[in-house]
Structure 1
């Protein structure tokens, strides 16, 4: 595509005026324990990818990708560009999105999943990189909570977000046959900021470009603070998602959020998302995760994790222990904890002491309903959504909404 076909002309970025960081310091993706420089595409600010998308600013990074704010020069619109590292099986997320886009059943949950606009492959010095083009959503729920006093909201405010997330999970589980496996606050993104906020963000990046460190073969940019957006968060990042019609026993989920069947390397299904959504709900109303899981040396330890679960849930039923041969490592034949780590003196009630809002007892009952040892004992997304506690306040909110001018 020639530049004459562009409906939007690429911007020129200044070659000076930015903060140059010490090249000996590790920043951003370099701080990840698995970082290998050659796996990441050495992007340059202002670069035009696929003859269409100009890279404007860095939004974030991870083990499998970096994410950038960009402009679609054909449509004169803003996008988010997720550039994967090199390596095998990096098309998993793309395949999930293709499947989700092919589902034609009308379901409200589909509207609250981040949209994929386009995808393409770029070739770097060390191989090919898949690039996904998404709608440019706002900051994550985890970033938003950092701005809130106490880094937590009330139970009433949490309910609205969790209801929407459960609607999404009902779509994924009952219609699309997809398990997300990675529900956490950083993967819940606020809606797209207003056009003027995005435009101002672009202009500010040109006026004061991001700090960076310049190396011989690449430049590492600092991520920019993106505008927040307004409304309930959408579900993003399907990089670890799985199809539910396949058998699974792989290690998934962030450490503190792992369902017990995942810890014990047993087979798992879509009910891991139900366990996960309870953990996310807890994170929204509490400044600390429900599970700590670290031993005295500060290392995450399955023995400590399971001891905490025993303290909160009691010992698992025999039917759960039969799911994995590893159960015998932690419990004896009668289901008694072997004491590989001390059972802490904690309860849901003690951990919830600082949670704000009405009917805390109802919330803890709802949490217990989702956090069951046996996956089959956990409710479906729809059953959890229609729980009496979670529905409280919904009708009142509707009445208040209709009474406003």
Structure 2
């Protein structure tokens, strides 16, 4: 039995031609005036979402059972695979977009890598296809259905933090998956957080119960003409702890192939210093992500708060917190930034006219004004009393 599964069980803290439609059951009809699910996404535009309906049959194979979730770029559906011993799958239906969808390319790249040992802890793709919708072409991905995210698992506990043992077991599997991604597949994930670490299902009967629940009590939905927006089925994870399996690194849509990149990645609270300072980044940025994520899982709060109390994003605030916790960055690290070069000279080197004690007094005077912290800067009155300012000037 998977070690993670043992741990959690013993833990008692709280294309259009390929689509066919079939009939539907009675359901709770939600108010059309109230937003639900993907309608809350920033810049939501209903026309770019494919109008999936429960009961639809994709590719004459994947029958939609219920809705698993949604995001800014897709909806995800729980389906029965009629072409493969009636197994269950997750069907991700992406929005139409002028931006090329790289997710299928990434999964194919990963699948083509030699077996490395940690690939079982990284989500894979079983099938992919395209389907034509009213607003264009939609990319579809078929994957293993997963039970929940590590974030959701965490919030079934009371208090909402992993035990030390559970944290260790989770990290062993996460690091095994990362080792495969970094060394075996030569990719950087770029967005590691508890919501993107999923929990696989070890007991297929859990999925049978999910399907039965939908049949007995169909999901609530909004019906607006020909368009239907479903409410994702709410599965209480506490009822399915018997099915908890291995951790799986998921959501590979922003993954980058190669060891060195530039540009911004990662949510602000997880952003590595080299990314924040516009330096090249690579696999170590993922390691930073995990380190910060550990705090979320184990300490019930974020390690860094770039928004502060006023919730305004601030790199300066974030860097300040990093320095407070980790100490100031080394000069060697700061010299890595090719765009904002740090010259190899000091304030004293800039002064070329004075010598000896006179120069020392002058530099002391200057440093009373040139301080990082405003409160450490001398007042005008204090400067008026400065020794160098009041010393006689030597005449040549």
- Aligned mate of 2:89, from 56, 79, 83: 79
Q: Which residue of 1 aligns with 2:354?
A: none
Q: In structure 2, what is the Cα distance between the partners aligned to 1:333 and 1:206?
A: 73
Q: Which residue of 2 aligns with 1:221?
A: 230
Shift of the alpha carbon at 1:260?
Answer: 1.1
Q: In structure 2, what is the Cα distance between the partners aligned to 1:206 and 1:66?
A: 20
Q: Which residue of 2 aligns with 1:144?
A: 153
Would you say 1:32 and 2:41 are equivalent positions? yes
Q: TM-score, normalised by structure 1?
A: 0.75
Aligned positions of 1:17-166 closer than 5 A: 18-75=27-84, 76-104=86-114, 106-166=115-175
Give the match's secondary structure for 2:142: strand
* Structure 2 alignment gaps of length 5 or more: 1-14, 348-369, 375-396
* 1:84–1:90 CA contact under 8 A, matched in 2: no
* 2:307–2:314 CA contact under 8 A, matched in 1: yes
The structure with the larger Rg is 2
Q: Which residue of 1 aligns with 2:292?
A: 279
Q: In structure 2, what is the Cα distance between the partners aligned to 1:337 and 1:242?
A: 40
Give the match's secondary structure for 2:262: coil
The more displaced of 274-283 and 220-229 is 220-229
Q: 1:179 to 1:67 in 2, by over 3 A?
A: same
- Aligned mate of 2:178, from 169, 175, 179: 169
Q: In structure 1, what is the Cα distance between the partners aligned to 2:219 and 2:45?
A: 23
Q: Which residue of 2 aligns with 1:198?
A: 207
Shift of the alpha carbon at 1:11?
Answer: 6.9
Would you say 1:264 and 2:277 are equivalent positions? yes
Q: In structure 2, what is the Cα distance between the partners aligned to 1:187 and 1:38?
A: 27
The more displaced of 266-275 and 213-222 is 213-222
Give the match's secondary structure for 1:149: coil
Shift of the alpha carbon at 1:328?
Answer: 8.2
Q: Which residue of 2 aligns with 1:5?
A: none
* CA RMSD across the alignment: 2.9
Give the match's secondary structure for 1:151: coil
Shift of the alpha carbon at 1:13?
Answer: 2.7
Q: 1:110 to 1:35 in 2, by over 3 A?
A: same
- Aligned mate of 1:238, from 239, 252, 272: 252
- Aligned mate of 1:317, from 330, 333, 344: 330
* Structure 1 alignment gaps of length 5 or more: 2-8, 341-405
